[in-house]
Structure 1
């Protein structure tokens, strides 16, 4: 499941339309926002037929006579509902038919002047209030830069150019998605020398998006026949290969084998630094307690129902037969039922405590969301190896980075020559006054 936004700079030429169709097929695009199509309403159906019958299209012709924004989706795989549209954005709800992905999506094509874009910022602010409860993706050509370093050559970046865009991103609580590939998404293809390049095509997600899809990374690809880079946003994460996190439940400590397990795991000698030794000991304890829980305490609900049923049947039988062996059996069943009810109660208490922390302490949620966002930004999702081959395997990426720095720093020297102190002393040195000046405390102003 991939979403794509691309300012294709005109779509009337059959060759360009065929190239865009090939691109969508080759990159398995399921939802696409084509911007600046320059196709008039009368030619719309003719151009759309070149993409094939698998695509359904929505165009914002009521707001723009040249169809500035086309949103297309593959109906066999995706259900898409248009919620609103304007001259600068199309807002919709996307839901895949395999139920693996659902999200709000806003395709953006900003107008070219600061004043005209003000309506776009107001519209995004309005949409943010209705989209905050679900993942929300905002992507496209904003025709505005966000930071001073987003343009090289051309006119100098002024604060007025970036102020409104920055304020909108802050008010909507959006975060830019991690990206790979081209940094500058647009470049002048005329006679400009040097060529002007800027980053005006972007993809953002709200906090729900970052929580759900923090591992995903957008790709800025080569612009091909356009002067803008297409942005591909993968929207389905690979299932994690790791197991469930370990939780220590208090009733494990009451088991008769608990002390022997702790003694066996903790008293074994380990090599390495003290913290490494502790990690090995805790890891052994975790695996042993998992086995103990699986063998002794798993399927608590089923065991409670079993003992309840057995006790009920026995007490029904005791109405006509009150023999001593039935009394002892009843006592044993009640003891077992109490045991498993106590275990279930401890587990529920720990779950409720976790739920209380989750609901009651919103600062934790904010902190971990911020950490997840930072982790997403700093993580290396993709490298280009020799010959431009894409490397996405994390182990191979780590190996490539280590090899790069080994080559950069060189091999270890067998010996390090010492400094020639007389030569150093005979060279340029600071005067005593300069040395004293450098040692003064740092002051403001």
Structure 2
């Protein structure tokens, strides 16, 4: 199985962003990392890469407009060859040494406007015709949603973009992998009360990938230094179902309960709003279990 993650890191010049990427790689036992929106200049690229995962190999395309996609991999586990490069994607073939198989992976960063994203949809449809019988994974920040339920907040008219994205998925024969964790992968981090949440990031695969790893899924983790959530591809084993949240009303009548909740909720936590809320909810668990 490919231990992989894709994350729109929203810049890698800051040390806290670099540490977050390193921690994700270590904690998730990653062999492959797709990083989007690095905002690192060519002159600083090697220094930043060596400061994150110095023993890994790196690929970054500074000839493409924007230089928005980096690939990093552990050469002890993987061998990677770049197949194709576009303004909005990098296509590579990965040899997984432990299982002696090849897979194809596209890391994508969709353009902000509908018109430019059509180039990505066309490219994916064209590439899909040449995939053959190889397992194929496509993931990243597509800057588009598939359904109105994947938006929370005022977002304007997104139906055209949504329909074109769904048409692309249908035409390429890709399948949406099951997702666990955060429902929305991006938040605008607004301070004016106009919060907007969207599911812009996802992982898709073809039928050959699903045949090889029928129980594969990915986890959408809580964002830290970015406004996007990391996506971590998880192994080919079923996990026990997650227990539902349960709250007994009588707890609110316990002495000091309300004061304890208020104390935790007023605590300042550094990070995105989603990360702050998640940390506070975890801190509340001991109180709920009293």
| Structure 1 residue 237 corresponds to structure 2 residue 225 | no
Indicate the structure whose relative CO is greater, using CA pairs within 8 Å and at least 6 residues apart: 2
Unaligned runs of at least 5 residues, structure 2: 249-290
For 1:64 and 1:24, the matched residues in 2 are separated by: 27
Alignment size in residue pairs: 246
Distance 1:173 1:192, change over 3 A: farther
Does the aligned pair in 2 maintain the 1:91–1:105 contact within 8 Å? yes
- SS of residue paired to 1:103: strand
1:93 equivalent in structure 2: 93
Contact 2:155–2:196 at 8 Å: present in 1 too? no
Q: Which residue of 2 aligns with 1:303?
A: none
Q: Decide whether the 8 Å contact of 2:180 with 2:218 is kept in 1.
A: yes
User: Is the Cα contact below 8 Å between 1:60 and 1:87 reproduced in 2?
Assistant: no
Aligned equivalents of 2:241, 2:145: Cα separation in 1: 26
In the superposition, the TM-score normalised over structure 1's length comes to: 0.53
Aligned equivalents of 1:52 and 1:185: distance in 2? Answer: 25
Partner Cα separation in structure 2 for residue 207 and residue 180 of structure 1: 20
Which residues of 2 match residues 26-425 of structure 1 at below 5 A? Answer: 26-65=27-66, 67-99=67-99, 101-234=101-234, 236-237=235-236, 381-385=239-243
1:156 shift after superposition:
4.0
Distance 2:59 2:236 in 1: 27
Q: Please state which structure has a larger fraction of its residues in helix.
A: 1
Q: Is the 8 A contact 1:138 1:203 kept in 2?
A: yes
C-alpha separation between the residues in 1 aligned to 2:209 and 2:42? Answer: 35
Scaled by the length of structure 2, the TM-score of the pair is 0.80
Do 2:84 and 2:91's aligned partners in 1 also have CA atoms closer than 8 Å?
yes
CA RMSD of aligned residues (A): 2.0
8 Å CA contact retained: 1:175, 1:206: yes
More strand by share: 2
The structural deviation recorded for 1:127 is 1.0
Shift of 1:383: 4.0
SS in structure 2 of the partner of residue 144 of structure 1: coil
The one-character-per-residue Cα deviations of 1:359-382 (angstroms, maximum 9, x if unpaired) are xxxxxxxxxxxxxxxxxxxxx845
In the aligned structure 1, how far is the partner of 2:71 from the partner of 2:17? 17
